[in-house]
Amino acid sequence: MRKTWAIVRRELIAYFSSPLAYVVLAAFLLMQGYIFYLLVSFLNNPQTPAMTPLRLFFGGTIFFWLFLLFVVPVITMRLIAEERRSGTIEVLLTSPVTEAQVVVGKFAAAMLFYIAL
């Protein structure tokens, strides 16, 4: 378990030391700000049907789901590709960790980054 957490920690440091994390975070926050603006404008309009703001708040908008469709691959595509590019995949796979620990550690780091969004 300790080895898996070491991989998670290393991946989270790698996420936040690259500009990709900040670009994804900024785009996500801008999109959420726009959705909040839509929600407030619907709530201020007295002619809006009663269920529209609730549907917007709980179901999200098409912008949220389309953005999510692109964010998850952007977050996860660099996990193994970055190891290959930097040449550390051989070191990682020959270290005393199992492949399952590597996969779980990288998955947990991606999931924690997504939760942080």
In total, the chain counts a number of residues equal to 117
pTM score, whole prediction = 0.75
- Does the pLDDT value for residue 27 go beyond 80? yes
pLDDT tens digits, 82-109: 888 888 888 877 888 888 888 899 899 9
Which sequence spans correspond to the domains of the chain?
2-116
Q: Which residues have a Cβ under 8 Å from the Cβ of 101 and sit 6 or more positions away? A: 3, 4, 7
Dihedral over Cα of 101, 103, 104, 108: its sign:
positive
**pLDDT for the residue 56:** 67
- Alpha carbon distances (Å) from 81 to 2, 9, 34, 75, 88: 24, 18, 33, 12, 10
